[in-house]
Structure 1
């Protein structure tokens, strides 16, 4: 009898241990590995200031672009043209979310001959892969244009670096090409000077890391570089302005170049 009772208690103990193990395994989720099964995804929770990362530092998850020109190396997004990969049309790495009012902080570094920019409130160009049309915070390696507001494939320059402008509509019955002169919009009205264009350019480090901070709210578009307001546009052109659209980064047609982006932080308002 004693032997039977001991066996019974032993069986109960084994069943209890197995049950606990089952419930523990049931609630366990293995992290995904790079080989393809499950892997731990990065946390995109907002920080105390309300900004969240939109780049995980390892992959282009959440983005779309031509892998010939875009990749991730050493924790940064790299856009590059080589002698073997000539470009026939500007190409973009496109964030897969439509944005309206937002702030974006991003660090960039660009080669001397580089030409790039951060596109926002933009739309796709029909028939051209990975092409966008809309507002752009301009970036170039020689710091001639970095910080200005240039509207890609539309109204061209809306504010040069050092300008606060107001953009008005032009008369009906004319095409956008009729409104543009010397690569600037005829409806560009200078409200005030933010500083000397060349002097502001000295605040941007060449071939080194800089921070672009965009504050886009309503029809007011502000571009900061390294904490300095470089351009401000008040877009009153209801016919042509965009109040929402896509975000992206550009590699521009031209000689071999490289642009890098890191620490991309977004706050929607």
Structure 2
């Protein structure tokens, strides 16, 4: 009799279990990756909704109550300081409000402009760039007083080419450089971008507290109408300007203004949120 060797039965249960586990793991991983992809797509969509185009408000900004003061196409809402109309010397160029340099400083050109509405507590945001050797400013809480220029009643966020304009070396401790409270408080740190590049400016006014921000950093903080404010003004060239000391007047509110200092300067993405 011939004996055939016994064939050992293989245990196939364990490999099948392993294959099942691997399949389940791959399936779970695919589902997880799919969920992550969907989450990323949703996050990217939300990010796109929050990104505003030039001179536009994002969906988020609209929800937060921001208002555009300049649409990039018209001068609606703006007029000359002390005037009923928008002055010559200002134009719209590539989606920006531009003051055209006269070469004669404050003595020439179209003069300063203001927005039609007065604001009390607010956050103002805009972008600006300046020509070589250029000078300008952003006024706030300005009163419109017959026979008086705007700077006699309004604090000023300085705009300047810090490299070429002599004002950068005048005043005290750099208090005439970009984003400074002009001639009173220097912007620290001084982080203005070079001529020809866009800078972002922000001004917050809330119950007398004022903050200047430049390119994402807070660079000036002070408090209007306080004893310290009065002392600071009394020790400056503004000491005899009662309207400046009492910026905003009785109602503690005023106009937003852009300065014509005789140089080419551009402004865009001008928006405000009432606080």
TM-score, normalising length: structure 1? 0.60
Question: Hey, what's the Cα distance between the residues in 2 that align with 1:233 and 1:63?
Answer: 28
Structure of greater Rg = 2
Question: Counterpart of 1:265?
Answer: 271
Structure 2: runs of 5+ lacking an equivalent = 1-54, 81-85, 169-176, 231-244
Higher fraction of strand: 1
Question: Counterpart of 2:107?
Answer: 88
Deviation at 1:99, TM superposition (A): 0.5
2:158 is equivalent to residue 158 of structure 1: no
Deviation at 1:89, TM superposition (A): 6.9
Question: Counterpart of 2:206?
Answer: 217
Cα shift readout 1:26-53 (whole Å, capped 9, x = no counterpart): xxxxxxxxxxxxxxxx998961332121
Please identify runs of 4+ aligned residues in structure 1 that moved more than 4 A. Answer: 42-46, 128-132
Structure 1, 54-63 or 42-51: larger mean CA deviation: 42-51
For these two proteins, the number of residue pairs brought into alignment is 181
Question: Hey, what's the Cα distance between the residues in 2 that align with 1:138 and 1:113?
Answer: 14
Structure 1, 236-245 or 259-268: larger mean CA deviation: 236-245
Asked whether the 8 Å contact 1:112–1:142 carries over to 2, the reply is no
Structure 1: runs of 5+ lacking an equivalent = 1-41, 151-156, 163-199
CA RMSD of aligned residues (A): 2.8
Asked whether the 8 Å contact 1:121–1:135 carries over to 2, the reply is yes
Question: Counterpart of 1:194?
Answer: none
Asked whether the 8 Å contact 1:214–1:223 carries over to 2, the reply is yes
Cα shift readout 1:88-125 (whole Å, capped 9, x = no counterpart): 27931110001000001100000121111110001124
Cα shift readout 1:24-79 (whole Å, capped 9, x = no counterpart): xxxxxxxxxxxxxxxxxx99896133212111111110000253321112211001
Mapping 1:114-133, distance limit 5 Å: 114-127=134-147, 133=153
